[in-house]
Structure 1
């Protein structure tokens, strides 16, 4: 007899429910959220597992890798789909959630999620840490500006390089205030130094990666965008068509259709927030700062004339994602003119 299992994962413990093919509960138990402890429960010879499901979350990649290496038929399932399925239950408990996930596995009503490779996870961690340091440094700079404004001291327009020099100039004649600001400047300096180290790691990775260098032939696409894209997509072959990348990154409009009513809304904003933001920034650079003319910029400019600049940038961000995927699959550089452009682009 075939068996199915659902895992409801939390930080400390994981609720496990095992069903047979008729839907009968064979076993319910809690185990420590560690691959070895879960394997000890699931590797029992009494079970003949067809599918094991766990919901995507902070621990899911680590647990998925451990269970998959043990030879278990584990699947990581989409969070929103799972939430909609479990919403029908009157009481939300870990036990009920594990039961619901096990039922999803049994009736084959689930949407699998791609679990990234270890290399892509490391790249993603690097980009996340880099962004975090950058945001904290900018937050301290803004706080310093706000504190000084209370004393009538205006920092004005100044770049990151000369920021510290400008602040010291403003508080030079205010010893009490200067001591306070110096502590913030010291914290900012440390954050900026560590940010520089991580940014150098990004540049080193991109320099040695042929795919990233290929993607950077597109105007507006720099090292951070290229590295983030390869880390997000991970395996390009998992998309049958390049156009499928747009919806996965949340860059296509929502559609709400019922009967005679059909509403097209804003973009769905599902998927990876960081990648979507980076593609939006790359589209802005291509549309406003890129000096060299290309068919892609001309296409975006025509949309801007008809629909407005903001919609043109979003449309360009989506098309950038599609083009980058096609270039990655084909191994071709960016075509600046339409003469050599493939018909599918």
Structure 2
């Protein structure tokens, strides 16, 4: 058997597909492996380069296989797809992963530690509970509207919605409907308590972390956004520049150019959705304050005068992302520009 140089591993829940190739790219094997057979299989192999698509459980298997002495590369799935030929099969996917690893311009995804994955799980669990609470509040609002009970929308007006609910025994609401409304209210209270516990945990961690304290000094960056940046970007130095970091977040224009015609379209919306959303929400908060109280930033003031609000928010989120990258890679604290500084 030829010496194995690279292995393309197509991940799954129970049945995995491994494609091995030598230094010249010739196929050495392409076989199925049951879940229990995977690690014993790699234990017997000499150290080689193992590639896999970025997907669920990819970081777990990357850690396990790396511990056996192999070099593991996690590849973005959109870069692997063009190398899949003639149809979607596990064997074809494994070959495509091997082919993608030959491309020097394809960057791999950094392997996350278990602690880093735990930090992202905290944020995603909070998002999950917030979404569930929003669904429950909307259900409560719609059911109450059936009986002519309404209040302003938004979680901030939830207290007004509850105040509009009459006392138990009121003839306007049948007993069966009242029981269901109470069940929904109880669910909202439980979800609010869960969200508050997670917020307390995030706040406690933020007080002990120097990077988070430095990030929260940037306008538009709160504790939640700073923790999300730390969790999702453990090594900001892997980006060549601030523009690369902003492009990874999907905040840069998507080019559509040919020849001498250079066209820039809407933002690409690629990369991390959670961070992009948080930066956009933070930018909207900064703009809201600027519209109410004014701003000393000439750049922001001119942009607000000539462009729509949401376009300005994206531009500000792009600028904030660049400031974040510079602060994390070069150290130091945030200092407002001279035009933003007070007298």
Asked if TM exceeds 0.5, the reply is yes
The equivalent residue for 1:78 is 76
Give the match for residue 133 of structure 1. Answer: 129
Q: Which residue of 2 aligns with 1:111?
A: 107
Q: How does 1:184-223 map to 2 (within 5 A)?
A: 184-223=184-223
Match of 1:306 in 2: 306
Q: Is this contact kept in 2: 1:301–1:312, CA < 8 A?
A: no
TM-superposition CA deviations, 1:204-263 (whole Å, max 9, x none): 111111100111111221110110111121112212322321001010010012235433
Do the aligned residues in 2 keep the contact of 1:236 with 1:329 (CA within 8 Å)? Answer: yes
- Cα displacement (A) at 1:309: 1.7
Q: TM-score, normalised by structure 1?
A: 0.88
Aligned residues of 1:155 and 1:166 also touching (Cα < 8 A): no
Q: State the match for 1:162 in structure 2.
A: 159
User: 1:33 and 1:288, CA in 2 relative to 1: closer, same or farther beyond 3 A?
Assistant: farther
Matched position secondary structure for 1:5: strand
Within 5 A, what are the aligned runs for 1:1-345?
1-33=3-35, 37-45=37-45, 47=46, 49=48, 51-86=49-84, 89-106=85-102, 110-156=106-152, 159=156, 162=159, 165-169=162-166, 173=170, 174-176=173-175, 177-289=177-289, 297-338=297-338
- The answer (yes or no) to whether the contact 2:52–2:58 under 8 Å persists in 1 is yes
CA contact (8 A) 2:17 2:94 kept: yes
Q: Conserved in 1, the CA contact under 8 Å of 2:141 and 2:161? A: no
Compare relative contact order (CA 8 Å, sep 6+) and give the higher one, 1 or 2.
Answer: 1
Q: Where in structure 1 are there 5+ consecutive unaligned residues?
A: none
CA contact (8 A) 1:5 1:105 kept: no
Aligned length: 334
3-state SS in 2 of match to 1:168: coil
Residue 39 to residue 157, structure 1, CA distance change in 2 (3 Å): closer
Shift of 1:25: 2.2
Cα RMSD (Å): 2.4
Runs of 5+ unmatched residues, structure 2: none
For 1:259 and 1:200, how far apart are their aligned partners in 2?
54
What secondary structure does 1:135 align onto?
Answer: helix
- The Cα of 1:124 is off from its aligned counterpart by 0.9
1:7–1:15 Cα contact (<8 Å) kept: yes
